């Protein structure tokens, strides 16, 4: 219910994504989520794999501020395409 309220325009059948940002490499951070270390519930419970084609073009990100702004930008871009997206 909480997830659906965040994404009212989600098109049923589309993929869902968790968009996050970290100083760590995406592969390392994903493993941490799956192991429960400082994890997002959705990433831990439902995360299957990384999708590099959605983030590789943005890396490396120079500053934490840039990373936070990019997190929101990528999440909103995916939502406009009616994907299910969760981000902090």
Domain definitions of the chain by residue range = 2-87
Report d(CA 73, CA 67) in Å as an integer: 10
7-36 pLDDT, tens per residue? 777 878 899 999 999 888 999 999 999 999
Quote the pLDDT of residue 40: 92
pLDDT in tens, 34-76: 999 999 999 999 999 999 998 999 988 889 899 999 999 999 9
Residue 1 has a pLDDT of: 59
Beta bridge partners of 86: 18
pLDDT, residue 2, reads 72
Say how far apart CA 86 and CA 77 lie, in whole Å. Answer: 12
- Asked if residue 77 has pLDDT above 70, the reply is yes
């Amino acid at each position: 219910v909480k997830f659906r309220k965040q994404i009212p325009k989600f098109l049923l059948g589309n993929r869902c994504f968790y968009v996050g940002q970290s100083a760590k490499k995406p592969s390392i951070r994903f493993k941490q989520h799956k192991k429960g270390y400082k994890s997002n519930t959705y990433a831990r419970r439902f995360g299957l794999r990384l999708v590099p084609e959605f983030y590789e073009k943005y890396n490396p990100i120079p500053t934490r501020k840039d990373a936070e702004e990019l997190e929101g930008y990528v999440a909103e871009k995916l939502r406009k395409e009616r994907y299910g997206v969760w981000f902090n």
